[in-house]
Structure 1
Amino acid sequence: MLDRFGKLAEEQEKVPVEDLMDAVGRRSFGPLLLMAGIVMAAPGISDIPGVPTITGIFVLIVCVQILFGREDFWLPGWLLKRKIPQKLLGKLASNKWSRRVAKAVDRFVTERLEFLTGPKANYVVAAVCTALAVMSPLTELVPLSGIGVGVALVSFGISLIARDGLMALIGFVLSAGTIGLAVAAKL
């Protein structure tokens, strides 16, 4: 997926979200959550004003569709037409941290704990990701706070793609910790 984003960044000065969606595939929700998680987890990128909020809106749209049982993905036209600057997308695609994480995950992921990846479990994943999406705009107030949200989204995205229940379990633990820290910080 990072390679596809890099290729798009090489081809266009500003890349529409619609082109990113086509590169990921519109029938799978897992890569969409993974893509959002990578954006939020990449140090520096999630600290750009507006990125956590836009990412949160994107995740919310994805998760609501999962919760309503849609089989293919839909985004509103205004979001599909938004353009991501070549420099930002290229930075995301070539980010050494993201690449190292992607390689490590590829070696680690396999089908396991399938009871955490079935259709019913996907609804629970979508509900937790909805909570993370609602929380995302708050991460704009504290530097690096979006990383917890991003890593949880990455875990959930991988779990949906690879049917890896361990990744779903990791996502649940990270979500609980992230939401717990946000609640504690607010008190």
Structure 2
Amino acid sequence: MKQKLSSLEQLLDRMDEAGEGEEHVSLDMLMDTIGKRSFGPILLLIGLILITPLSGIPTLPSTMGVAVFLIALQMLVRRKHIWLPGWILRRKIKQQKLAKASQWLRRPARFIDRLVKHRLNILVEGPGSWPIALVCLLLAVTLPLLEPVPFAASSAGVALTCFGLAMIAHDGLLALLAYSATLGISGLVAYSFL
């Protein structure tokens, strides 16, 4: 059994592991490598995918929006295992692009990992995870709206990355940062429709 994730760098290592020897890597392969029992690592993975230039791939932000919506619903009903439909799990990314994205994130990941620590646990554990799930539902709905603007989905990726990492590291301060980022994203979406 794999050790639980506790840092961004560990997640990047697992992303690289999933793609070894393959031309394409599916979301299912990534989830198998990361684990399907924890919501935090999967939100972190989706957030990281959206932060990188991969978010410019047509329909990827909308597909990730559907995945986040389903994951957030499952968080609310307290499911033990994550379920996603086959059409999302079969979505593939070229291994080279994934490796490039992982490499691109290494330096910021090291910096962020030094700042993250256990604090304000009440904001991420037990009932504290329900507001996170509700905000993730909101982010999921905004992702398709952000897709027409190149790389705008990266802003939602920042919030999802923060929520995922906050849940993994039990860092409530990081969750508060993610809430703030979500407010900014909501403002961006509202402004673009005015």
TM-score, with length taken from structure 1: 0.92
Within 5 A, what are the aligned runs for 1:97-112?
98-112=105-119
Output one character per residue of 1:20-75: Cα deviation in whole Å (capped at 9) or x when no partner: 11111111100000001101111x22122111111111111111100111122112
Q: Distance in 2 between matches of 1:152 and 1:99?
A: 18
- Return the offset for 1:5: 1.6
Which one of the candidate residues 88, 91, 109 is aligned to 1:79?
A: 88
Matched, 1:27 2:37: yes
Residue 50 of structure 2 is matched in structure 1 by 40
* Counterpart-to-counterpart distance in 2, 1:176 and 1:131: 10
C-alpha contact 2:17 2:33 (8 A) present in aligned 1:
no
Q: CA deviation at 1:78?
A: 2.6
Unmatched segments (≥5 aa) in structure 2: 1-10
**Contact 1:113-1:166 within 8 A present in 2 as well:** yes
| Structure 1 spans left out of the alignment, 5+ residues | none
1:13 corresponding residue in structure 2: 23
State the percentage of identical aligned residues.
Answer: 41
Residue-pair matches, total: 184
2:157 aligned residue (142, 146, 150): 150
What is the distance in 1 between the residues matched to 2:167 and 2:187?
Answer: 24
Letter in 2 for 1:70: R
Q: 1:128 aligns with which of 132, 135, 141?
A: 135
| Length-normalised TM-score, structure 2 | 0.89
Report the alpha carbon displacement of residue 2 of structure 1 after superposing the two structures with TM: 1.2
The aligned amino acid for 2:173 is L
Q: Is the 8 A contact 2:125 2:167 kept in 1?
A: no
Q: CA deviation at 1:168?
A: 0.4
Matches of 1:144 and 1:80 in 2, distance apart?
A: 22
Letter in 2 for 1:71: K
Conserved in 2, the CA contact under 8 Å of 1:111 and 1:162? yes
- Please name the residue that 2:170 is paired with: 163
C-alpha distance in 1 between matches for 2:37 and 2:173: 23
Preserved contact between residue 6 and residue 94 of structure 1 (Cα < 8 Å): no
How far 1:141 moved relative to its partner? 1.3
> Structure 1 pair 112/93, CA: closer, same or farther in 2 (3 Å)?
same
Shift of 1:124: 0.4
